[in-house]
A and B are shown apart, each in its own frame.
Chain A
């Protein structure tokens, strides 16, 4: 690949992102601007921003790569990513907005009236955020080395630096504009090459190789995943989405409960259209470039396919576009995560001031950067799937039971979250350490959500029932606040 194509794409993207960030700085003035963009963001803007933040390295690169190597089993990934928002809409969106809290730990404290439960939630939120940033930085490393030929660490560091600068200067207000812009950039970047390739195929400038079997089970010789793996993955994605800190913090930027629901509906529409494209990349990759699967970097399929199939200058321009789109994915997801982690750290440790937020933002970027530089990349979609499993086993039960069940106590919540974290984290670590030695338990350890999520719920409910005396005194008031609708304004002053 031409290195200048990569440089042009990166310089263009970084310039525009920084420009929007600085524009946001000029209108970002109050503390509420910093944390939640003053709750004045309209549903379409907000939905684009949520989409921009959510579509990470795993969605932009990982899904297509996984379809390339494992076929129709990988189609469950985009289904889970999208249906996760359905669960969020059904169980969390409006009540969480009405809770009036800024972060998940704030919600925990308000609902359970317990500082200890708040601390446990904070630690988990920070862990989830860091686990999620690491694969983004790995994706950046991969893309940078393919795009420019520079050493791969340059990609991770570049993303970390740009995120730090944007977040520190603009806070959430500017992030909202940046994210919304990056959603539409990602969408264009993934859709336009497919349109070109299909046009070329339609003009029969490109014929499918006679031997290609794009829909066969396993061109790379991998065994098909079993039913357990598919079910467990879907459980993780469905219930993990509603606990992701960077997704939840976005819901506080809606003005009220109904607009939180409308925003979620739009997000589901945007995601449904977006995820058609990685699937098409996967299928085209299986037809035309199966060598990418065997070459060891299937995650690079989206980056390489346009250049392989579209000749000449058009191919170079499209390649530059997908590189920019991929970096937009790393940047937007990482900055969303950094904003939410920094919000938690600054409120819990540094006193909630803007300066504390800035210090926390730098800290929240540097730690995962260190981890990313010291570890080897694995399949992007797979490692993100494990983060979803961890979230589904810890924060999801807290939110679901906290919102819908009066009986949840602080002791129950803490016990359930710790049990879920220990089981899920332990299973993933054990699966890694044992490898093939785990024998019959290998599948259970490789994607543990199907049994750790019910286990966390069981512990949370059980301990809450044993500690009935600890139910918060104001539970009636709290439940009313979560569920009673805002009175519609009769005066036209909105």
Chain B
């Protein structure tokens, strides 16, 4: 990128930033401020590389576990309805169980999976940052 970005500093809120003319195609975006130190340590040392690889592995394992768990639960809904006797006819306030399960019941499970993943992923990253800061 070949231009200064006056909007990024945000130091003078009363005066709006001046319009700028852009002169080059942008392929790479500006990084968020104040972050790259942990990355540079990781990129430069062999120990750092071990940390990064183990971070990637643990994040991937987490994502796959949550995805597979969710898909199994999702698969269980139609199987339950098809094979548990009586469930097909079960009703709540006049609404059949199959409609309640698919129309309402799946969504809390999606939300719960997402929330668990966000927490666990943040924990993995915090552990990695601790390791890098100690190194």
**Which residues of A are in contact with B by a Cβ distance under 8 Å?**
27, 29-33, 35-36, 38-39, 72, 75-76, 79, 82-83, 85-87, 89-91, 94, 100-102, 106, 109-110, 215, 227, 230, 234, 252, 255-258, 261-262, 264-265, 268-269, 272, 275-276, 279, 283, 347, 351-354, 404, 476-477, 479-481, 483-489, 491, 493-494
Cβ-closest chain A residue relative to B35: A486
**B133 CB → nearest A CB, Å:** 8
Q: In the complex, how many residues of chain B place their beta carbon closer than 8 angstroms to a beta carbon of chain A?
A: 64
Name the CB-closest residue of B to A26: B16
9 tightest A-B contacts by CB?
Answer: A352-B25, A486-B35, A272-B107, A485-B125, A75-B102, A90-B63, A487-B38, A31-B22, A279-B103
- B73-101 vs A: 1/0 string, CB under 8 Å? 01000100000000000000001101100
| 8 Å CB contact of A262 from B19, B98, B111, B118 | B118
Contact B28 A215 (CB under 8 A): no
Residue ranges of B at the interface with A (Cβ–Cβ < 8 Å): 3, 5-8, 16-20, 22-39, 42-43, 49, 52, 55-56, 59-60, 63, 66-67, 70, 74, 78, 95-96, 98-99, 102-104, 106-108, 110-111, 113-115, 117-118, 121-122, 125, 128-129
Q: Is the CB of A477 within 8 A of B43?
A: yes
CA distance A102 to B27 in the complex (A): 7
Instruction: State whether B27 touches A110 (Cβ < 8 A).
Output: yes
Measured between alpha carbons, how far is A270 from B71 in the docked complex, in Å?
21
Q: Are B96 and A215 interface neighbours, CB within 8 A?
A: yes
Does A484 contact B67, Cβ atoms closer than 8 Å?
no
Q: Hey, which chain B residues are within 8 Å of A29, CB to CB?
A: 7, 16-20
Cα-based distance from A255 to B104 in the complex (angstroms): 33
Asked if B102 contacts A72 (CB within 8 A), the reply is yes
Q: Please pick, from B28, B78, B121, B128, the residue contacting A110 in the complex, using a CB distance under 8 A.
A: B28
| Docked-complex contact B98 and A256, CB < 8 angstroms | no
Q: Which residues of chain B are near A477, meaning CB under 8 Å?
A: 43
Q: Quick check: A83 and B27 within 8 Å, CB to CB? A: no
Q: Is the interface of A mostly helix, strand, loop or mixed?
A: helix
Closest to B133 in A: A487
- A489 near B34 with CB under 8 A, answer yes
Q: Which of A215, A261, A352 contacts B24 (CB 8 A)?
A: A352
With A258-B122, A486-B35 as given contacts, are A215 and B74 in contact (CB-CB < 8 Å)?
A: no
Q: How far is the CB of A224 from chain B (nearest CB, A)?
A: 12
Q: How far is the CB of B55 from chain A (nearest CB, A)?
A: 6
Query: CA separation between A32 and B32, bound complex, in Å?
Result: 13
Q: How far is the CA of A100 from the CA of B28 in the complex (A)?
A: 6
CB distance from A478 to the nearest CB of B (A): 10
Tell whether, in the assembled complex, residue A234 and residue B59 are in contact, meaning their CB atoms are under 8 Å apart: no
The reply to whether A32 and B7 form a contact with Cβ atoms under 8 Å apart is: yes
Given contacts A91-B67, A215-B99, 15 further A-B contacts (CB under 8 A): A30-B17, A30-B20, A31-B3, A32-B30, A35-B26, A79-B110, A86-B67, A90-B67, A272-B108, A272-B111, A276-B107, A347-B26, A480-B39, A491-B34, A494-B33
* Nearest residue, chain A, Cβ from B23: A353
> Would B7 and A234 count as touching, CB distance under 8 A?
no
Give which listed residue, B31, B55, B121, contacts A100 with CB less than 8 A.
B31
Measured CB to CB, the closest approach of chain B to A201, in angstroms, equals 12
Give Cα A483–Cα B125 distance, bound, in whole angstroms. Answer: 9
With both chains docked as a complex, state the minimum distance between the C-beta of B14 and any C-beta of chain A, in angstroms.
13
State the Cβ distance, A6 to closest chain B Cβ, in Å: 30
Determine the chain B residues whose CB is within 8 A of the CB of A100 once the complex forms: 28-31
Q: How far is the CB of A380 from chain B (nearest CB, A)?
A: 19
Determine if A79 and B26 form an interchain contact, defined as CB atoms under 8 angstroms apart. no
| 26 residue pairs from A and B, CB less than 8 Å apart | A29-B16, A29-B20, A30-B19, A30-B20, A38-B7, A39-B29, A79-B107, A79-B110, A86-B110, A89-B118, A90-B67, A100-B31, A230-B78, A261-B117, A265-B111, A268-B114, A269-B111, A347-B25, A352-B26, A484-B38, A484-B39, A486-B34, A488-B129, A493-B33, A493-B34, A494-B33
Within the assembled complex, what's the spacing in Å between the Cα atoms of A487 and B37? 7
In this complex, which of B70, B99, B122 has the most chain A Cβ atoms within 10 angstroms of its Cβ? B99
Residue of A nearest to B55 (CB): A483
CB-based contact A94/B52 at 8 Å: no
Q: Which residues of A contact B42 (CB under 8 A)?
A: 480, 484
